[in-house]
């Protein structure tokens, strides 16, 4: 057994930013991550990070745009922290060495992003996440922070309402380990891979959320998942919103721009839920081409495309066979971001003592029913730092409670059952079924009948989990076994999402019910909470923090 003061699960931007604060506070912190730190999904972030850096802009305007973008479901106390602390966090990253594009005067350049009243997205071409994650990783290395790379956490250990540590599998050997600590911080990213078409890394399977749920913590607003308007036709790879921020258009199969019909003021730069629905309506009305519309960058010219959007060009050529300098790129909406997550307060605390969450896996909630582009890297950094400081304060005075005797034995038993089953169901077939069901029944448009069908399908597939047999029964790098563990999370997350979506009889942000097409503040201005108790889901609700901006009709 290893012992640390604090264990951070996840080496994305949120986890590593928090770990740096914990080390600065003089604590013994360790990071556990199932992929190498710089393969965390944060590295794939393209378009940029928001902050009101310019005198003509203000954190209050940023806050208003974020609250409006969230369709007024975001908690405004948390949004205020996000927007107020944004500029100092960017400057801090800059001092650490993060590279940003510059304007003529040498200041950090900012581009326009969807749903924003001001061009406030700082960026490095279309590789912003890459720049930021590498810089934070350097800070982790510089402080000698202990890392368990390619260790997959299988259980968060909670006894008598207190987190005691985790159990993880070391991928290289297949060995199970106990990691004992005073506090556990979950920073495990999103659940985009619950869907078959997603921009997310294969590792974004919602593990931390489902581990927290099993440990007794509630998940919040899981029905809200963002569909990004521009993902490649064949692979679902992201084409950043920065492409529209730089002046790219959307056109239908007839070559006509269509956003004026759906968002007459903001056009292509309306918020993502609005643009995704507009595309789907064009496609459904017969103006699409084989389920797609097109992102047209041709008028930007080769120089600008190569300078500002080099990765977009490269990805479009390699994965779609289309050079954006010469041809429009076929795109469709794809699952991109998880607004829902582990319910926490503004300091990242869950209701379980010693268990915290930050980044995309947490739900504070700053994004409410729809996230604005550029606000998520920001959340990872601002709340990574803030929650890191909060956990440090907690861990300095907290006691190390004993690690339950039988925890390791129980975890080993569950894995042995899976490894020793000689005949049974194929995990890949089950995961495929769940993803297809979620895509079909819990996508951009939803209704009662379809959601009920989706729930029945997912439950049917979930019943087969205990019958899975593996082809690979070896110990070393058994990724098939890991995929089965992830499937367990995917199934739980899917059920929580479907339940939240089925109960929420209104349309708000990314959640569009064709049978309840309008927002209903009287009955639904509240967060959905999902608990798992004795193997059964229970749904509850919680009020929204509204401080500065009263809900109003949302128009772009
Ligand atoms: C293609 C793409 C482009 C994006 N572009 C932007 C953008 O331009 N601007 C913006 O604001 N946002 C963007 N986002 C969103 C943003 O990048 C993410 O929300 C953010 O980076 C998430 O950071 P994180 O630290 O919370 O999680 P991640 O970076 O996803 O890291 C999760 C970590 O958890 C670990 N982990 C998970 N499960 C386990 C387990 N069971 N055991 C051990 N470790 C585990 C993983 O190994 C990983 O280290 C983009 C997202 C995508 C997918």
Q: Give the Cα separation of 380 and 385 in Å (integer).
A: 8
Ligand 1 contacts CB of residue 366 (under 6 A): no
pLDDT at 431: 97
Q: Give the residue, out of 11, 39, 42, with the most ligand 1 atoms within 8 A of its beta carbon, to mutate for a pocket test.
A: 42
Index of the ligand 1 atom closest to the CA of residue 46 = 8
Residue 258, in any domain of the structure: yes
Residue where a domain stops, chosen among 316, 335, 354: 335
pLDDT at 159: 97
CA of 136 to the centre of ligand 1 (A): 14
Whether the CB-CB separation of 365 and 352 falls below 8 Å is answered with no
Index of the ligand 1 atom closest to the CA of residue 198 = 53
Ligand 1 contacts CB of residue 352 (under 6 A): no
Which CATH number does the domain housing residue 439 bear?
Answer: 1.20.58.100
Which CATH number does the domain housing residue 311 bear?
Answer: 3.90.700.10
pLDDT in tens, 429-465: 999 999 999 999 999 999 999 999 999 999 999 999 9
Is the alpha carbon torsion for 28, 34, 38, 42 positive or negative? negative
Q: Into how many domains does the chain fold?
A: 2
Regarding whether 326 and 236 lie in a shared domain, the answer is yes
The boundaries of the domain holding residue 246 are 228-335
Residue 397, in any domain of the structure: no
Whether the CB-CB separation of 47 and 240 falls below 8 Å is answered with yes
Residue 48, in any domain of the structure: no
Residue where a domain stops, chosen among 335, 366, 399: 335
Place of tokens 């569950």: 414
Percent of the chain with pLDDT over 70: 100
Nearest to 26 by CA among 144, 148, 127, 122: 144
SS3 call for 151: strand
pLDDT at 116: 93
CB atoms within 10 A of CB 53: 16
pTM over 0.85: yes
Q: Give the residue, out of 7, 9, 10, with the most ligand 1 atoms within 8 A of its beta carbon, to mutate for a pocket test.
A: 10
pLDDT at 51: 98
Regarding whether 329 and 429 lie in a shared domain, the answer is no
Whether the CB-CB separation of 170 and 476 falls below 8 Å is answered with no
Catalytic residue among 193, 272, 446, 513: 272
Residue 9, in any domain of the structure: no
pLDDT under 70: residue ranges of the chain: none
pLDDT at 218: 98
pLDDT at 525: 98
Residue 322, in any domain of the structure: yes
Residue 345, in any domain of the structure: no
pLDDT at 277: 94
272 is catalytic: yes
Nearest CA to ligand 1 atom 5: 45
Residue 234, in any domain of the structure: yes
Residue 177, in any domain of the structure: no
pLDDT at 276: 95
Ligand 1 contacts CB of residue 33 (under 6 A): yes
């Amino acid at each position: 057994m290893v012992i640390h003061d604090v264990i951070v699960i996840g080496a994305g931007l949120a986890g590593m930013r928090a770990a740096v604060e914990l080390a600065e506070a003089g604590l013994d912190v360790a990071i556990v991550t199932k992929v190498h730190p710089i393969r965390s999904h944060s590295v794939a972030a393209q378009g940029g990070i928001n902050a009101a850096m310019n005198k003509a802009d203000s954190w209050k305007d940023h806050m208003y745009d974020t609250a409006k973008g969230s369709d007024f479901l975001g908690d405004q106390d948390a949004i205020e922290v996000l927007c107020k602390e944004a500029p100092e966090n960017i400057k801090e990253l800059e001092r650490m060495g993060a590279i940003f594009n510059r304007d003529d005067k040498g200041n950090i350049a900012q581009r326009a992003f969807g749903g924003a009243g001001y061009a406030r997205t700082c960026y490095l071409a279309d590789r912003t996440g890459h720049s930021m994650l590498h810089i934070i990783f350097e800070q982790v290395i510089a402080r000698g922070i202990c890392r368990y790379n390619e260790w997959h956490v299988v259980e968060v250990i909670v006894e008598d309402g207190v987190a005691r540590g985790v159990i993880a599998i070391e991928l290289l050997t297949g060995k199970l380990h106990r990691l004992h600590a005073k506090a556990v911080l979950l920073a495990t990213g999103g659940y985009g891979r619950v869907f078959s078409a997603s921009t997310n890394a294969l590792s974004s399977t919602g593990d931390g959320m489902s581990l927290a749920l099993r440990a007794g913590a509630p998940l919040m607003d899981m029905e809200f998942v963002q569909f990004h308007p521009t993902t490649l036709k064949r692979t679902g790879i992201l084409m950043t919103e920065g492409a529209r921020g730089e002046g790219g258009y959307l056109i239908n199969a007839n070559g006509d721009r269509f956003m004026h019909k759906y968002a007459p003021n903001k056009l292509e730069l309306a918020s993502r839920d609005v643009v995704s629905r507009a595309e789907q309506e064009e496609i459904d009305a017969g103006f699409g081409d084989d389920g797609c519309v097109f992102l047209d960058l041709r008028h930007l010219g080769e120089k600008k495309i190569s300078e500002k959007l080099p990765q977009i060009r490269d990805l479009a050529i390699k994965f779609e066979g289309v050079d954006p300098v010469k041809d429009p790129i076929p795109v469709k909406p794809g699952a991109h971001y998880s607004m829902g997550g582990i319910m926490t307060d503004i300091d990242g605390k869950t209701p379980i003592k010693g268990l915290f969450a930050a980044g995309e896996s947490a739900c504070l909630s700053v994004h409410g029913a729809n996230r604005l582009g550029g606000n998520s890297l920001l959340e990872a950094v601002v709340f990574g730092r803030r929650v890191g400081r909060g956990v440090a304060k907690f861990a300095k005075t907290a006691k190390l409670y004993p690690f339950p005797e039988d925890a390791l034995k129980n975890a080993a038993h569950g894995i042995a059952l899976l490894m020793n089953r000689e005949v049974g169901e194929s995990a890949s077939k089950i995961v495929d079924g769940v993803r297809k069901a979620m895509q079909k029944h819990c996508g951009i448009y939803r209704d009662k009948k379809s959601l009920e069908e989706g729930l029945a399908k997912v439950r049917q597939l979930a019943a087969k989990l205990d019958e899975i047999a593996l082809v690979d029964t070896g110990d070393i790098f058994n990724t098939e076994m890991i995929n089965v563990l992830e499937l367990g999370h995917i199934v739980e997350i899917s059920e929580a999402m479907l339940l939240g979506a089925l109960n929420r009889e209104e349309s708000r942000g990314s959640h569009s019910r064709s049978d309840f097409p309008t927002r209903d503040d009287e009955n639904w201005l509240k967060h959905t909470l999902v608990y798992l108790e004795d193997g059964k889901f229970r749904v509850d609700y919680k009020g929204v923090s509204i401080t500065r901006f009263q809900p109003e009709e949302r128009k772009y």
